[in-house]
Amino acid sequence: MISTIALLTDFGLEDTYVGVMKAVIAGIAESVQIIDLTHAIPAGDLRCAALELWRAAPYLPPGAVILAVVDPGVGSERPAVAVEFKNHIAVGPDNGIFSYLLFDEVPARTIRLENVAFQRLPRSSTFHGRDVFAPAAAHLAAGVKIEALGSPASGLKQLTPPRLELPPGNPIEGEILHRDRFGNLITSIGKMVRDNQGAALYNWIRPREQPIQLRDPIRLELPGGITLAMRDTFAAVPSGQPLAYTGSSGLLEIGLRDGDAADSLQLHIGDSIRLTSA
């Protein structure tokens, strides 16, 4: 089986940072397959990185190594870690970047990356992606056991969870988490599975809780008094009209047919929203 490394950074593509990391990987594990999840995370935006890892991880092949480098604390005392999940190992800084993956699963173990035999020396204080994280991921993909990379660690740093309040009855309260390149807005409300009566809402932040049944009509209340009905597809509304819908990750999203919902509705990351049902 060809090993896989899934790469996520905030490095962009204007400079050689991503290419150099791939070169380091190729020098250690020549046959590894690299999946570029994204290199367009806003600089230092750990919440965005954590969300995008959570959205992507279920689709990675079993045994893939996740290499995530959004590291505003590079060179500081923040640990560098490898985290062993059931189907993947995640490599990166212990700064909260893996927080949302922890919603779904308690890691089997966490290893602090201390063994310099699996690092590139001399080690830069500003480019651990090249000298610490890429070598660790490549060695893991090549078959090195995780425990060889360093000593056990505990207590991974976690970001404040997204807002999702599910009181008995209505309303359900959440927030806007992310704007995609089309201007669609991903919210913290979900996971939602549509059914004949409305939708079942599974708490993605605390997935062991029982789902809540929502009955049609389901409506989303936005800042400024705008209310949107739930639709199944963009084609269900006329061109230029906004809608709420269940996105591909199961989270509630806000869109605008043939347009940019964020700009048109003047909505921003962090804005509060409310969901009501019959």
Q: What is the pLDDT of residues 26-38, one digit of tens each?
A: 999 999 999 999 9
The pLDDT, as a whole number, for residue 1 is: 56
Helix 17-28 / helix 134-141 crossing angle, nearest 10 deg:
30
Q: Which of 118, 153, 188 is the last residue of a domain?
A: 153
Could you give the CA distance from residue 264 to residue 239 in angstroms, rounded to a whole number? 13
Could you give the CA distance from residue 191 to residue 202 in angstroms, rounded to a whole number? 5
pLDDT higher than threshold 80 for residue 2: no
Could you give the CA distance from residue 235 to residue 218 in angstroms, rounded to a whole number? 18
- Does residue 87 lie in a domain region? yes
Q: Residue 159 in contact with residue 46, Cβ under 8 Å? A: yes
Q: Which of 50-64, 133-147, 185-199 has the lowest mean pLDDT?
A: 185-199
Domain match, 128 and 228 both: no
Token pair belonging to 179: 């704007």
Report which listed range, 82-96, 154-168, 221-235, is most confident. Answer: 82-96
Q: Which of 153, 172, 192 is the last residue of a domain?
A: 153
Mean pLDDT of the chain: 95
- Does residue 159 lie in a domain region? no
Q: What percent of the chain has pLDDT over 90?
A: 92
Residues 53-85: pLDDT tens digits?
999 999 999 999 999 999 999 989 899 999 999
Strands 219-221 and 272-276: antiparallel
The pLDDT, as a whole number, for residue 167 is: 83
Residues 226-267: pLDDT tens digits?
999 999 999 999 999 999 999 999 999 999 999 999 999 999
Could you give the CA distance from residue 191 to residue 251 in angstroms, rounded to a whole number? 5
| Three-state secondary structure call for residue 23 | helix
Residues 198-237: pLDDT tens digits?
899 999 999 999 999 999 999 999 998 899 999 999 999 9
- Does residue 158 lie in a domain region? no
- Does residue 148 lie in a domain region? yes
- Does residue 62 lie in a domain region? yes
Could you give the CA distance from residue 265 to residue 240 in angstroms, rounded to a whole number? 11
Map tokens 């939708």 to a residue: 199
Q: Which of 132, 153, 174 is the last residue of a domain?
A: 153
Domain match, 215 and 255 both: yes
Domain match, 41 and 99 both: yes
What are the φ and ψ backbone dihedral angles of 272, each rounded to 5 degrees?
-85, 145
Domain match, 132 and 260 both: no
pLDDT higher than threshold 90 for residue 278: no
The pLDDT, as a whole number, for residue 46 is: 98
* Tally of domains within the chain: 2
Nearest to 99 by CA among 52, 40, 161, 176: 161
Average pLDDT over residues 128-152: 97
**59, exposed or middle or buried, with CB in 10 Å at 0-12, 13-18, 19+?**
exposed
Map tokens 């964020």 to a residue: 262
Nearest to 129 by CA among 4, 8, 2: 8
The pLDDT, as a whole number, for residue 203 is: 95
- Does residue 44 lie in a domain region? yes
Domain match, 43 and 72 both: yes
The pLDDT, as a whole number, for residue 195 is: 84
Token pair belonging to 57: 């991880």
Token pair belonging to 16: 């050689």
pLDDT higher than threshold 70 for residue 192: yes
Whole-Å CA distances, 32 to 36, 141, 154, 253: 13, 7, 29, 35
Residue 200 domain boundaries: 164-276
Domain match, 133 and 249 both: no
* pTM of the complete model: 0.95
